[in-house]
Structure 1
Amino acid sequence: MNTTVNRPGTDTGTATTRRPVDYVWAIARISIGWIFLWAFLDKTFGWGLATPAARAWISGGSPTTGFLKGTGENALGGFFGSLAGQAWVDWLFMAGLLGIGLALVLGVGTRIAAVAGGLMLALMWAAELPLANNPFMDEHIVYAIVLAGLALADAGTTLGLGNLPIVRHNPYLK
């Protein structure tokens, strides 16, 4: 299962061996990327799993209204509720879902995706405060922690495009 590759951050002339943990991080990266990408696709086209076709973005629905309007009783509900359905919020949210999802699935721009995804998840966590089942921890925080791990582990280099020469020579693309 070990494969010799050039690991980012090392001299391109030296090769390292992939470890099983590299594959675990790669699968985690692709999995979380798919969560973001699926949310984009379902909210855009209303494939009926979380978003009915009638409320799809392409049918004139707002991808942020359902979640943000539901925060009214929460600690920051007034703020988040006021953002619901605004076109700029919808576009920013959907661009974030698509960009983060594609970056993670492809393994390029993983660090930028981790920061942007962590910020998006932190905002979604804050919108739900106080949490119903735990004083502070929920899946948004867990996903944000995993995103940080993906960035620190250079997870785009295994089963992704992170080993492309353009990515290796431009750290902002890692």
Structure 2
Amino acid sequence: MTAMAERPTTPTTATTVPVPESTAQKAARYVWAGVRIALGWTFLWAFLDKTFGLGHETPEKNAWINGGSPTKGFLANGAAGPFEDFYHNIAGDAWADWLFMIGLAGIGLALVLGIGVRIAAVTGGILYVMMWTVVLPPDNNPFLDDHLINAGVLAGLALVGAGTTLGLGRYWAKLPIVKREPWLR
């Protein structure tokens, strides 16, 4: 014989009382926001340096606007390990250059502005994992390097809603399309 619990037929509503934010919670929000902005800047800087050849990693003569390829040097000369042939074959291809650069700019802007952090976290995580696979095994560890760690940090940013502190995430979330499609947050 099966026992069945009796359920109320009318919905009940609970009154929610806002719980004040603790100092540690507030500090954590700001730490995550700072990490979000910092990671966003690393993507944006890579985009700017490769586009304009600002001389940090990309000389002006190799800038994308001067006909250089943002993927050729690293993928053609730096790839090693099980995916070496794949990366050598796409090194310098226009489609790879465009996808890489659009990814850098889009992920960087989203993270710095605090909008579309979920999308930026997923696409940034994919980009980080792909960059990790370019050189396997990593130089300083048999498996783990900063690319995988940063992919995990991006997941954390999305999970804690890091775009709402020091960012435009609250305003972004109020847009009708974002309300309909929460994955855009």
Q: What TM-score do you get using the length of structure 1 for normalisation?
A: 0.88
1:135 alignment partner in structure 2: 142
Corresponding residue for 1:39?
Answer: 46
Which of 26, 29, 48 pairs up with 1:22?
29
How far residue 66 of structure 1 moved from its aligned partner, in angstroms, is 1.2
1:61 aligned residue: 68
Structure number with greater CO (CA < 8 Å, separation at least 6) is 1
Q: Which consecutive unaligned segments of at least 5 residues does structure 2 have?
A: 1-16
Q: Distance in 1 between matches of 2:62 and 2:19?
A: 50
Q: Which has the larger radius of gyration?
A: 2
Among candidates 64, 74, 96, match of residue 103 of structure 2: 96
> What is the aligned partner in structure 1 of residue 82 from structure 2?
75
**Do 1:44 and 1:56's aligned partners in 2 also have CA atoms closer than 8 Å?**
yes
- Distance across 1 between alignment mates of 2:31 and 2:128: 22
> Alpha-carbon deviation of 1:117?
0.3
* C-alpha contact (below 8 Å) 2:43/2:104 kept by paired residues: yes
1:151 aligns with 2:158: yes
User: Could you list the runs of 5+ residues in structure 1 that have no partner in the other structure?
Assistant: 1-12
- CA RMSD in angstroms comes to 1.8
Task: Please give the alpha-carbon distance, in whole angstroms, between the structure 1 residues aligned to 2:92 and 2:36.
Answer: 30
Q: 1:77 to 1:160 in 2, by over 3 A?
A: same
Equivalent pairs counted in the alignment come to 162
Moved over 4 A (4+): 13-16
Q: Secondary structure at the residue paired with 1:163? A: helix
Identical-residue share of aligned pairs (%): 56
Deviation at 1:133, TM superposition (A): 1.3
